[in-house]
Structure 1
Amino acid sequence: MIETPRLLLRGWREADVEPWQAMCSDPEVMRHLGPPMTMDEAQAYVARMQKMQTDHGHCFWALEHRSTSTFLGFCGVKPGAAGTPIVDRVEIGWRMARPWWGAGYAREAAQASIDWVWANLDAQSIWAITTHDNRRSRGLMTRLGMARRDDLDFEHQALAENDPLRPHVTYEIERPA
């Protein structure tokens, strides 16, 4: 569990499935991520994150507001996915429900995740990927001090060839000296 002044990054609970699925049914939240999630897909996602936490000691953690215990989304780190240029590297990611956009929560949670990696893992860098057109996430990557790695941009193999979300960009931040 990671605490920041306003947030709690924690393991996933069964109670998170419903707000997670509701968040992932918002077309604006999913704009750069794909189709809305069904309840079965949301349950499977939570189960994958729980297993990842058990297997690796970290995952894309559930994100909760400390003072209200409201589920906000996720932020954390996991092994990069197969079929991407960051396979098995430390990947940082975030996704938040729309009412919480623009309040600095994603940056606060992402910085806490980066700090956690430097304190707890032997990784020399942290990586992030997103769709080419996801300007909000790319902006956060830049504000976090991540650098674009044009040489590692790719077409996401998990998406159909004609899918407009297929072009992806890659960012990296190196461990401070």
Structure 2
Amino acid sequence: MIYFETSRLRLRDWEETDLEPFRRLNADERVMKYFPKTLSTEETNAFYKSIISEFEECGFGLYAVEVKENKEFIGFIGFRRATFEADFTPCIEIGWRLKKEAWGKGYATEGAAACLQYGFNELGFHEVFSFTADINEPSKKVMIKIGMNFIKMFGHPRVEKDSPLNKHVLFHIQQNSANGLRS
């Protein structure tokens, strides 16, 4: 099923053929630079199953993203339920992970902006959060471009306290403020 499209992207259900490029994506050290580690085949398989389960339980999740022009799978953009222990959870998080060859083309911003509109207009979300390691400048720029506002810094409880990835930024957007992109 195709959930929605942008001028260049299709956000859709996952297909079995996505699993191998998804494994490569999660094993790529450049892609996983702002995560504690790359994922093994087994970890990616478990992540894939959790994505499918979330769609079955909630009717939303991390959408598989393909470029319309060539139908190439480039990663995911979408929503997750964040349930780790924090003063802003449980909440709906928007996130993205794209393969290196898709970087620098505006795909994350384009897809995430459309995803927010879908979440607010079709899924009935009232607010959405996003967070990443403070050193992840590319993702922070996407958050700003899609109209999200910085809320605060926090130590991520699932990242080692002495890791440079522990210090996270929290961004937020409400339904009535999701009207357009910032340049």
- Give the TM-score normalised by structure 2: 0.90
Deviation at 1:5, TM superposition (A): 1.4
2:176 is equivalent to residue 173 of structure 1:
no
Does the 8 A contact of 2:36 with 2:159 survive in 1? no
Residue aligning to 2:79 = 77
The Cα RMSD (Å) is 1.4
Q: Which amino acid aligns with 2:143?
A: M
Q: Which amino acid aligns with 2:124?
A: D
Does the 8 A contact of 1:11 with 1:61 survive in 2? yes
Residue aligning to 2:149 = 147
Residue aligning to 2:51 = 49
Residue aligning to 1:158 = 158
3-state secondary structure, aligned to 2:18: helix
2:90 is equivalent to residue 88 of structure 1:
yes
Residue aligning to 1:115 = 117
Q: Deviations along 1:31-72, whole A, 9 cap, x unmatched?
A: 101211111111111110000001001001111111211110
Q: Deviations along 1:75-126, whole A, 9 cap, x unmatched?
A: 0112223224442322100111010101011111101100101112332211
Q: Deviations along 1:130-176, whole A, 9 cap, x unmatched?
A: 001100000111111111002xx211111222222111110011111
Distance, in Å, in 2 between the alignment partners of 1:13 and 1:41 is: 18
Matched residue count: 175
Runs of 4+ in 1 over 6 A off after TM superposition: none
Distance, in Å, in 1 between the alignment partners of 2:88 and 2:41 is: 29
Runs of 5+ consecutive residues of structure 1 not aligned to the other structure: none
3-state secondary structure, aligned to 2:53: helix
Runs of 5+ consecutive residues of structure 2 not aligned to the other structure: 178-183
Distance, in Å, in 1 between the alignment partners of 2:100 and 2:107 is: 11
Distance, in Å, in 2 between the alignment partners of 1:109 and 1:85 is: 28
Residue aligning to 2:4 = 2
Does the 8 A contact of 1:85 with 1:154 survive in 2? no
